[in-house]
Amino acid sequence: MEQTSIRAGSFQSQPGGYQAFMPAPLPPDPPIQVDLPLVQLLSKADQAVARLDGVALTLPNPNLFVATYVRQEAVLSSQIEGTQSTLDDVLAYELDGAGRALPQDVEEVVNYVRAMNYGLQRLETLPLSLRLIREIHAELLHNARGGEKRPGEFRVDQNWIGEGRVSITQATFVPPPPADMLQALGNLESYLHEENGLPALIHCAIAHAQFETIHPFLDGNGRVGRLLVTFLLCQRQVLHQPLLYMSAFLKRHRAEYYDRLMAVRLSGDWEAWIAFFLRGALATANEATQTAHRIVLLQEEHRRMVQEADLGLQSLRLLDILFQRPLVTVRSIGEHLGVSYGTANRLVEAFRSLGLLNEATGRQRNRAFRYSPFLGLFPEATAPVTAAAPTQSTEHPALP
C-alpha cells in the first residue's frame, strides 16, 4: 500500500481505490512548539477565560445567563451544519412546539440543548469518556435528522467528507476505517484524562481536532466535537459555569476553521490550528464577558422600572422568569407564577406598557410575547436565516 507519513498521521491506500487517514497517537510528536507569539496569544486567551469565569461567579443568578447562552450555542453550532432555525424558533418550540409552524430542523437544535445539559449533568458523576460521548450523541440525534444514523453508536462503516453528493474516491477527506477508528478513539479517551502538562486551552484544541479527524459517527461529528470543548473546560475546572461556546466565532470563520483542521492532517501543522483556536477562545470569552455585563445592567434597569411602576412582588418574579424563558404566553406565565389567567394577563399588559414585552405572533388568539430587550443581546442567534447556510463539507455514510 502507498503510505504518506506526516506528523499528525498518515494517508493509507485502501482496496476501494481511495486513501483513508490514520491519526497518529496523541500527544503530537514532535511536541507542540510553543514560540513567543503562541505564548502571548495563550496568555491573552487564558486571561480572557479567567475573567469570564470570574464574572460568572459574581452573577446573582448565573442560570439566568447560562440558559440562553446554551440555546445560542445550539443554534449557531447547528447553523454551521446548515440548519436554518433561529433562537426564536427554539424558544417557540419550547413554548408550544406542537402548535406552531416552525422549521423542520428546529428539533435538531432543541436536541443540541438537551444533549449539552445532559452531558453537563453527567459530568458530575462520570468523567469525560467514550461512553459519555456516545450518550451525548444519542441525545443529539434522538428523533431528528440523522436519527437513522445509529444514534449513540460508533460507526461500523466507512464514511467520508466531500462537497455535495460525491463518491468516496472524490472525497475531500476520508477518516480512518472502523477498526483503525476504534484504536484512535481509545488513544483519544486516554488523552482526555491525561495530565500532560499542556495548558487547558491547548489540550482542548488538540482534542477537538483529533475527534473531528477520527469522525467516529455517521452524523453529528461537528456538533459533538464542539460540545467536547465545553465539557473539557468544565472537567478541568477552568470554568465553573459552561459559558465558553466557540460556535459564533467558528461560524464567522468557517472556511478557515475547516482549512486549519485539514492543514493538521495534510502537513501536521498543529501550531497554526492551535493559534486559530486560541484566537477563537479569546474573542469568544471577551464577547461573553461583555454580554454578561450587559445582562446584569439590563436586569438592574428593568427591576428598577418594575419597582417604580409598583406592580407588586409577582412582577419581579416574572422578570426573573423572562431571563430564562424570554418567549411566554399569558397561560405559561400563570402556570409559572401560580396565578390566575386574569392576573397573568394584567402583568403582561403592564410589561408591554413599559416596553419590556412585545407581541410576537400578530394574532388575536394564542398570542406569544417576546422579551426583546434581552434577546437583543444575542443578535447572531436571533437573526433570520433566509437560506440554508453553505457548508464547507458534507458527511457521507458508506455507499449502499
CATH number of domain containing 58: 1.10.3290.10
Identify the burial level of 316 via C-beta atoms within 10 angstroms of its C-beta, where 0-12 means exposed, 13-18 middle and 19 or more buried.
Answer: middle
- Of the listed ranges 112-116, 192-196, 291-295, 347-351, the least confidently predicted one is 192-196
For residue 212, the model assigns a pLDDT of 97
**Does the pLDDT at position 399 exceed 60?**
no
Q: Has residue 236 been placed in a domain?
A: yes
CA 103 – CA 90 distance, rounded (Å): 10
Report which listed range, 91-100, 105-114, 170-179, is most confident.
Answer: 170-179
Same domain, 51 and 165: yes
Q: Has residue 205 been placed in a domain?
A: yes
Same domain, 275 and 306: no
Tell me what percent of the residues of the chain surpass a pLDDT of 90.
66
Same domain, 331 and 214: no
Q: What is the mean pLDDT of the chain?
A: 89
Q: Has residue 217 been placed in a domain?
A: yes
The length of the chain, given as a count of residues: 400
Q: How confident is the model at residue 361 (pLDDT cuts 50, 70, 90)?
A: confident
pLDDT tens-place string over residues 237-279: 899 888 888 999 999 999 999 999 999 999 999 999 999 999 9
pLDDT tens-place string over residues 64-79: 778 888 899 889 988 8
CA 102 – CA 287 distance, rounded (Å): 29
Total-model pTM: 0.90
**Does the pLDDT at position 100 exceed 80?**
no
For residue 19, the model assigns a pLDDT of 95
Mean pLDDT of 225-232: 94
Domain range for 365 is 302-382
In order, the DSSP letters of 66-125 are: HHHHHHHHHHHHHHHTT----HHHHHHHHHHGGGS---TTHHHHHHHHHHHHHHHHHTTT
Alpha helices in the chain (DSSP H): 36-58, 63-80, 87-96, 106-122, 130-140, 178-193, 200-214, 221-235, 247-252, 254-267, 270-308, 313-324, 330-337, 341-353, 372-375, 379-382
Domain count, the chain: 2
For residue 4, the model assigns a pLDDT of 57
